[in-house]
């Protein structure tokens, strides 16, 4: 793995790499991962990324006064991309598959002398704790961006990957939700068929006996529920929802009717087929 150029920092020359199953989202970043919808966007992406050190999954941070004159090192997926607690994976005992929600994002890692970080953080660092410290409040330095606001890497920006847990093979992958209108209708992409890029959001899911259900958005931002064929990844049905769910979903049966329970902000929303309301009357 790449050695650190931060003075005084010594890293292991090797790191473990999983060889199977294959990665379900971007690991590390190279020029091949950058946008190529148009020649102009591609050229801007290469120019923007010239300020950053691209590299593999274990790409070490760099310090502000580095000999390469770079701003930061890219850490992909870092703490921002891949999978996260807001949209946990779900496992299916019927098919033996795991369905994983993930999205593309990276951290830009930049260190500064510890003495300078005392101006950013209340607790002293300096030579007492570390010679170098995080160079920005929060977790990451300024991330690379295109002037158009279009993501700098190729889509899909978010996806669901189905992995067969008996073989370790990927069964299918689909983008989640729909291409946001801000991308589909962007002047810089006029005449370009971008396909379904995915919204870029992590999506909560629940698996039932005959389908996978997830929550995301249509292109105009309308909250939606999508019912997916578990074996093929094809959309079986879709419908508008009162709000996007987060931190998971669940499925329940009551009085012979099935309910999908969404965590919509500070409330819970139960959705069911019309027959459930007709049978229960005012109780629903």
Q: Find how far residue 175's CA is from the centre of its chain.
A: 11
pLDDT at 265: 84
Measured CA angle at 178 (ends 229, 149), to 5 deg: 145
Q: Rounded to a whole number, what is the largest CA-CA distance in the chain? A: 72
Residue 259 falls within a domain, yes or no? no
pLDDT score, position 116: 73
pLDDT along the chain (284 residues), means of 10: 90 92 96 97 98 95 93 92 93 94 94 74 61 75 92 97 97 98 97 97 94 96 96 96 89 91 90 76 51
Which runs of consecutive H residues, i.e. helices, occur in the chain? Answer: 39-49, 114-117, 126-129, 181-184, 274-280
Nearest to 58 by CA among 39, 33, 75: 75
Instruction: Note the pLDDT of residue 220.
Output: 97
- Which tokens is 219 given? 């292109």
Which pLDDT does position 248 carry in this prediction? 83
Q: Identify whether 64 is part of a domain.
A: yes
Residue 99: is it exposed, middle or buried by C-beta count within 10 angstroms (0-12/13-18/19+)?
Answer: buried
On whether residue 236 sits in a domain, the answer given is yes
Asked, for residue 161, whether it belongs to a domain, the answer is yes
Q: What is the pLDDT of residue 145?
A: 93
Range of the domain at 61: 31-247
Q: Is residue 45 part of a domain?
A: yes
pLDDT confidence of residue 119: 65
- CA angle, 232 then 237 then 241, to 5°: 130
Residue 20 domain flag: no
Position 218 scores a pLDDT of: 97
State residue 122's pLDDT score.
67
In a domain, 217, yes or no: yes
User: What's the length of the chain?
Assistant: 284
What is the reported pLDDT for 276? Answer: 78
Asked whether residue 9 is assigned to any structural domain, the reply reads no
| Domain count for the chain | 1
């Amino acid at each position: 793995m790449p050695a650190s150029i931060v003075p005084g920092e010594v890293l292991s020359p090797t790191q473990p790499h999983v060889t199977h199953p294959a990665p379900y989202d971007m690991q590390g970043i190279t020029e091949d991962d950058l946008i190529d919808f148009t020649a102009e966007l591609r050229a801007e992406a290469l120019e923007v990324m010239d300020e950053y050190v691209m590299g593999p999954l274990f790409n070490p941070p760099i310090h502000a006064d580095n000999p390469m004159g770079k701003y930061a090192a890219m850490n992909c997926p870092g703490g921002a991309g891949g999978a996260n607690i807001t949209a946990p994976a779900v496992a299916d005992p019927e098919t033996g598959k795991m369905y994983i929600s993930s999205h593309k994002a990276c951290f830009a890692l930049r260190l500064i002398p510890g003495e300078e970080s005392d101006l950013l953080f209340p607790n002293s660092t300096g030579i007492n704790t570390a010679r170098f410290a995080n160079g920005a409040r929060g977790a990451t330095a300024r991330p690379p961006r295109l002037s158009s606001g279009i993501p700098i890497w190729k889509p899909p920006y978010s996806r669901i990957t189905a992995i067969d847990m008996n073989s370790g093979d990927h069964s299918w992958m689909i983008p989640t939700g729909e291409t946001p209108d801000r991308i589909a209708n962007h002047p810089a992409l006029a005449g370009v068929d971008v396909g379904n890029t995915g919204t870029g959001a992590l999506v909560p899911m629940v698996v039932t006996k005959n389908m996978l259900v997830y929550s995301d958005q249509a292109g105009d931002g309308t909250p939606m529920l999508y019912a997916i064929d578990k074996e093929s990844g094809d959309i079986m049905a879709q419908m508008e929802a009162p709000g996007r769910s987060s931190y998971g979903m669940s499925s329940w049966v009551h009085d012979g009717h099935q309910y999908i329970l969404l965590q919509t902000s500070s409330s819970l929303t139960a959705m069911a087929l019309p027959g459930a309301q007709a049978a229960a009357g005012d109780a629903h």
